[in-house]
Amino acid sequence: MKTQMDNLATALSPEALEDRVATLQQKLSDSGHRTTPQRINILRALLTTETHPTAEEIWDRVRSVSPTTTLATVYKTLDTLKELGEVMELDTRDDSRHYDGLHPDPHPHAVCKRCGRIDDVDLDGLDTLQSQATKASGYRIEEQDVTFYGLCARCQQEE
């Protein structure tokens, strides 16, 4: 089913988008959660953006196709998806929680200190770094959060 949100920029092909939405619907259903039209619209809003949106940004997008969807429903859906390991929550210095539904596995990010842009960073050697941290600290490292802060290319050009 195509919606207005499908026309927005996405990092997924139309087929990949439908596959990801179907996978998330199935995971919600398998874990005992209903897959309501509001939840489907939230999934689409999360997956049809190349940014790492906040719940409020997702809500703004969803309201254009589902005006009765509440911000609380967006937060509950994101929390459920986070519990299922299907959404990564990013805690940045702007006091907002951002969400990554395209790449829910732990991975590094770069955050622009001026405009707030967040980008995924593909780095080799992160497993090696985690192994080194385990050896150096004696901890059993269970998760990691690597975030780099600086100026994005656009903000650098504006200097």
In this structure, are 94 and 130 located in the same domain?
A: no
In this structure, are 39 and 93 located in the same domain?
A: yes
Q: Smallest Cα–Cα separation from 119: which of 128, 111, 129?
A: 111
Domain extent at residue 115: 109-157
82 close to 42: Cβ distance less than 8 angstroms = no
Residue numbers belonging to the annotated binding site? 112, 115, 152, 155
First to last CA, the chain: 45
pLDDT in tens, the chain (159 residues): 333 333 334 467 889 999 999 999 999 999 999 999 999 999 999 999 888 999 999 999 999 999 999 999 999 999 999 999 999 999 888 888 999 998 898 889 999 999 999 999 988 888 888 899 999 999 999 888 899 999 999 999 998
In this structure, are 53 and 81 located in the same domain?
A: yes
How many CB atoms lie under 10 A from the CB of residue 143?
6
Residue numbers belonging to the annotated binding site for Zn(2+)? 112, 115, 152, 155
Cα separation, 40 vs 35, in Å, equals 7
pTM of the model: 0.83
Please give the tally of structural domains in the chain: 2
In this structure, are 93 and 115 located in the same domain?
A: no
In this structure, are 44 and 116 located in the same domain?
A: no
Query: Last residue of a domain, which of 57, 76, 100?
Result: 100
